[in-house]
Structure 1
Amino acid sequence: MSAPKKVVLAYSGGLDTSIILKWLQTEYRCEVVTFTADLGQGEELDPARKKAELLGIKPENIYIEDVREEFVRDFVFPMFRANALYEGLYLLGTSIARPLISKRLVEIAAETGADAVAHGATGKGNDQVRFELSAYALNPNIKVIAPWREWTLTSRTKLLEFAEANQIPIAKDKRGEAPFSVDANLLHTSSEGKVLENPADEAPDYVYQRTVHPEEAPDKPEMVEITFEKGDAVAIDGEAMGPSEILTLLNELGGKHGVGRLDLVENRFVGMKSRGIYETPGGTVLLEAHRGIEQITLDSGAGHLKDSIMPRYAELIYNGFWFSPEREMLQALIDKSQEHVSGTVRVKLFKGSARTVARWSEHSLYSEKHVTFEEDAGAYDQKDAEGFIRLNALRLKLIATRNARVKG
């Protein structure tokens, strides 16, 4: 690959991406543009601007953008229409943020005339795959630089020595090894590494950042009502809100009641197993509510088909194929299923759990007169079940007769 002339770097302002910034300048002698996304990670972003300026980045080459609304509206909500869970448990909080970051990296590269983008993902993880597959899907000619796969700074000691040699500020708590690595956005927090690497050891309480311990959550349950339109949440307790507002409020409510903790050993796309601690309080409440409204508005055939393709859909997102044609095809099917998924769900939050306790909708398929144990006024003739059972039993009876004959 020829040396890039201008690179757009996904920049957090932390030590690692600051080292990458300086490394790009010294290794490639190129101009660097920084992009810092506000995804709701809960950190001040102005320090990232100041640090970029300190490292010689021109003010016009520093991009800091609030993408929370786009993140929830165009990425999180479409994923939640599918009830997506990777390996049956993980709500894909890190995975779903990467295509948005890559999208903006490629767009900023086009706006600034850059010929390359760069990220700070390591060569062992999934994020390098997600960043790069997304970038190539959006611009097949873009160059992608992954310093962790190129440089010789293979230890914390070497990173700190490089930082000191290049006058990169080092926070005092970074001089020792961090106890664990954290990724955060409006959907979740993800903690990995160090004290969490042995799956036989319970995660220390200090790892959890967004949720109280369920045992210490309020002793009184709290109800929250979530209203949906075509599969997307649009209101909380009757108050209309935007997507990011809804997720923010559900994070507060869920976190207060210890909802959304997950200790998971997952299978990375690159082949190894890894252990992560995830906190997704708002997402857990949202998933429960979405399932609740689908229970009364979604036909059984459509619902069962959705459930059958969900693992494939979730795996595509986890593996970095958000911009693939197959994910878009599945999304079209999922979105079609949501045309009548509108109504309100009441969820009870209590001691780490979020449970649907009531749901109602003008689009409901639930017919009380058909399922009642009282008189149904002729809505359902129970005698019809006899023929239904006989037809479905026919092949089973033929198999049993054949088996008895063969054995005899």
Structure 2
Amino acid sequence: MSRDVKKVVLAYSGGLDTSIILRWLQENYGCEVVTFTADLGQGEELEPARAKAEMMGASEIFVEDLREEFVRDYVFPMFRANALYEGVYLLGTSIARPLIAKRQIEIARQVGADAVAHGATGKGNDQVRFELGYYALEPGIKVVAPWREWDLNSRTKLIDYAEKHQIPIAKGKRGEAPYSTDANLLHISYEGRALEDPWVEPDEEMFTRSVSPAAAPDEPTYVEISFERGDAVAIDGEALTPAALLTRLNDLGGANGIGRLDLVENRFVGMKSRGVYETPGGTILLVAHRAMESLTLDRGASHLKDELMPRYAELIYNGFWFSPEREMLQALIDRSQENVTGTVRLKLFKGNVIVVGRKSPKSLYDEAFATFEADQVYDQRDAQGFIKLNALRLRLGARRGDRR
């Protein structure tokens, strides 16, 4: 792209790669660099990122706690849909990118920047997610993606560049890291390098958010999660903010060995990738939400949601959070959640989330109809006509000889 950039807002973690990008932008674009560091619950102290950005000459520095907005406006809407990419992945990395992109654009407007920059590589999904977000919110914004421009294509070259430009390097960064990670309040991911062979089991020491299911307590933990209009609002009767609630579920899930996933997924850019994930709280939340829907959601609405879910999940995975079709699906999903209110009781035990109870003031379950005992509300003889009507087309086909 053109090097005519005056001021750029960089998504900045304070790590080696984005610190190198900060200096590279100053050196190659001759522009002011504004850094933006988002606290999405990754579990790291972010003030060192501020200090490092100051040391490296960032013209303005933004470090912001976005945990509540992240869970309330991104994670919870996604969980109303029970979204799973390719049937298993809870989209922990994918759902964080639109919020970062949105806040970057807002800061760019605030400081008068004409460009934004990110540290995603040219082989991954995140470059797509960031940039689709940027363009959806600010169509004329300039985007700088250093990994698609520079020749720093090895760890050795990155270290050499850092040393040449006096960029501090953590001791562990001087060698090849065993894998790359991405973390937020919903999950942590591990991929690359030591995990690139999908036949090799991950090292147990890698995991940071959960004990091994084998090492989890020998006694189950019971927990009750209350919902209002599809969103979790309380644990064991205690009302909690969205971020506090997910934090509590992470603690409960991690202590019971819940939420690990080893996945070979299809990236949007076309290749397959092996990733290992820990999503303890999200795993519990998904099971609880589906249990609440089982009691309160009409059959037709429930089945339609399940049909639409893969499309919704794919939109998020591929970076189309701000697309009209995702917003249309969200409106439908949110309408379905108006009666998803009540409480689910779960048993957490050695990696398993087991539903053991559910109740709701909006329940469609009626014991008078469901009972196997004598009842006064259901005439079993009605089933004969129901079956014959549904069998009519099958009988006509059989008469024609369709089942020879």
Q: TM-score, normalised by structure 1?
A: 0.98
Q: Hey, what's the Cα distance between the residues in 1 that align with 2:143 and 2:347?
A: 46
Q: Paired residue for 1:344?
A: 343
Q: Paired residue for 2:177?
A: 178
Q: Hey, what's the Cα distance between the residues in 1 that align with 2:122 and 2:205?
A: 28
**1:18-61 per-position Cα deviation (integer Å, ceiling 9, x unaligned):** 00000000000000000000000000001101100110124xx1
* Cα distance, 1:281 vs structure 2: 0.2
2:146 equivalent to 1:147: yes
* Cα distance, 1:401 vs structure 2: 0.9
Q: Paired residue for 1:74?
A: 73
Q: Hey, what's the Cα distance between the residues in 2 that align with 1:64 and 1:206?
A: 31
Q: Paired residue for 1:138?
A: 137
Q: Paired residue for 1:49?
A: 50
Q: Hey, what's the Cα distance between the residues in 2 that align with 1:144 and 1:255?
A: 38
**Residues 9-408 of structure 1: pairs in structure 2 closer than 5 A:** 9-58=10-59, 61-376=60-375, 378-403=376-401
Q: Hey, what's the Cα distance between the residues in 1 that align with 2:241 and 2:401?
A: 61
**Count of aligned pairs between the two proteins:** 403
Q: Which amino acid aligns with 1:381?
A: D
Secondary structure of 2:58's partner?
A: coil
Q: Hey, what's the Cα distance between the residues in 1 that align with 2:206 and 2:131?
A: 29
Q: Which amino acid aligns with 2:12?
A: Y
* Cα distance, 1:398 vs structure 2: 0.7
Secondary structure of 1:211's partner?
A: coil
Secondary structure of 1:218's partner?
A: coil
Q: Hey, what's the Cα distance between the residues in 1 that align with 2:93 and 2:58?
A: 28
Q: Hey, what's the Cα distance between the residues in 2 that align with 1:395 and 1:166?
A: 77
Secondary structure of 1:302's partner?
A: helix
Q: Which amino acid aligns with 1:153?
A: L
* Cα distance, 1:209 vs structure 2: 1.0
**1:75-94 per-position Cα deviation (integer Å, ceiling 9, x unaligned):** 00000000000000000000
**1:159-211 per-position Cα deviation (integer Å, ceiling 9, x unaligned):** 00100010000011111000000000000000001110000111111221101
Q: Hey, what's the Cα distance between the residues in 2 that align with 1:402 and 1:271?
A: 47
Q: Hey, what's the Cα distance between the residues in 2 that align with 1:355 and 1:140?
A: 46
Secondary structure of 1:4's partner?
A: coil
Secondary structure of 1:169's partner?
A: coil
* Cα distance, 1:109 vs structure 2: 0.2
* Cα distance, 1:353 vs structure 2: 0.6
Q: Hey, what's the Cα distance between the residues in 2 that align with 1:355 and 1:97?
A: 28
Q: Which amino acid aligns with 1:49?
A: R
Q: Which amino acid aligns with 2:358?
A: R
Q: Structure 1 regions of 5+ residues with no counterpart?
A: none
* Cα distance, 1:137 vs structure 2: 0.2
Q: Which amino acid aligns with 1:10?
A: A
Moved segments of 4+, more than 2 Å: none
Q: Hey, what's the Cα distance between the residues in 2 that align with 1:122 and 1:207?
A: 23
Secondary structure of 2:364's partner?
A: coil
* Cα distance, 1:292 vs structure 2: 0.6
Q: Hey, what's the Cα distance between the residues in 1 that align with 2:122 and 2:206?
A: 24
Q: Paired residue for 2:6?
A: 5
Q: Hey, what's the Cα distance between the residues in 2 that align with 1:324 and 1:174?
A: 38
Q: Hey, what's the Cα distance between the residues in 1 that align with 2:251 and 2:233?
A: 17
Q: Hey, what's the Cα distance between the residues in 2 that align with 1:346 and 1:31?
A: 53
Q: Hey, what's the Cα distance between the residues in 1 that align with 2:386 and 2:326?
A: 38
Q: Which amino acid aligns with 2:273?
A: S
Q: Which amino acid aligns with 2:74?
A: F
* Cα distance, 1:63 vs structure 2: 0.1
Q: Which amino acid aligns with 1:89?
A: V
Q: Hey, what's the Cα distance between the residues in 2 that align with 1:357 and 1:196?
A: 36
CA RMSD of aligned residues (A): 0.8
**1:123-151 per-position Cα deviation (integer Å, ceiling 9, x unaligned):** 00000000000000000000111000000
Secondary structure of 1:265's partner?
A: strand
Q: Hey, what's the Cα distance between the residues in 2 that align with 1:35 and 1:286?
A: 30
Secondary structure of 1:277's partner?
A: strand
Q: Hey, what's the Cα distance between the residues in 2 that align with 1:30 and 1:394?
A: 74
Secondary structure of 1:225's partner?
A: strand
Q: Hey, what's the Cα distance between the residues in 2 that align with 1:85 and 1:182?
A: 20
Q: Hey, what's the Cα distance between the residues in 1 that align with 2:209 and 2:33?
A: 34
Q: Hey, what's the Cα distance between the residues in 2 that align with 1:244 and 1:171?
A: 30
Q: Hey, what's the Cα distance between the residues in 2 that align with 1:392 and 1:26?
A: 73
